[in-house]
Amino acid sequence: MKKKTPTEMAHPDEIVEIWQTNRKQILEILDSISDEDLLKEPEGGGWSISEVLEHIYLSQWNIVRSVPVVLNKKFGMDTDEQPDLDYRKMAIGLSRPSGFKNPEVVAPLNKFKKDELKALLEKSEKKMLDVLKNKTKEDLTKRGMEHPAFGTLNLFNYLWVMSLHEGLHLYAIKKRVGFTKEG
């Protein structure tokens, strides 16, 4: 099934649904792998699965913490629906290794164990649900902030990008562990 772009979505709940579907699968994988596989660094370098999951937590936590601050005009800028964004190109850009350097605020610092990662992922998901409760698409398109790779995005688009970001990490983790169960 083709994923909707923000212009095809009517409500933030549609983005939340993408995020929760990805998160459910991430937690299933987390439950299915050994502690050794969780902490093992891939051959050729890169992050362990633990570090990838910490990065996912930090990415979600930081965006959802920013939403109220941006909406209250303490940070960010006024925006509009941004109908001219090339969503297809953005999705392709997210799906390919680009050498893009992650901001330090979302770089993993620890090698967490399963229970710690589950707690962090639940914490960021709960924060997302709390922050987006009673928000409309219109609320989230009026204000935005700079995305480190895509420039100025309204909050609705930013959240969509971040849900894809998590999905792409999920896909990479599935390939790495040979996880083929459909979820």
CATH of the domain at 139: 1.20.120.450
Q: Is pLDDT of 9 > 60?
A: yes
32-57 tens-digit pLDDT: 999 999 999 988 888 999 999 999 99
Residue 169 lies in a domain: yes
Q: Which residues pair with 154 in a beta bridge?
A: 144
Residue 115 lies in a domain: yes
Residue 4 lies in a domain: no
All residues at 6 or more sequence positions from 134 whose CB lies less than 8 Å from its CB, including other chains: none
Residue 170 lies in a domain: yes
pLDDT the model gives residue 87: 85
Q: Is pLDDT of 173 > 60?
A: yes
b (16+ CB within 10 A) / e for 21-47: ebbebbbebbeebeeeebbeeeeeeeb
Residue 183 lies in a domain: no
Least Cα distance to 177 among 92, 52, 18 occurs for 52
Full domain range(s) for residue 109 = 9-177
pTM over 0.85: yes
Residue 134 lies in a domain: yes
Least Cα distance to 33 among 18, 48, 55, 19 occurs for 48
Q: Which of 11-20, 84-93, 106-115 has the lowest mean pLDDT?
A: 84-93
Residue 182 lies in a domain: no
As to burial, measured by CB atoms within 10 angstroms (0-12 exposed, 13-18 middle, 19+ buried), residue 60 is buried
Q: Is pLDDT of 182 > 60?
A: no
Q: Is pLDDT of 125 > 50?
A: yes
Give the number of domains in the chain: 1
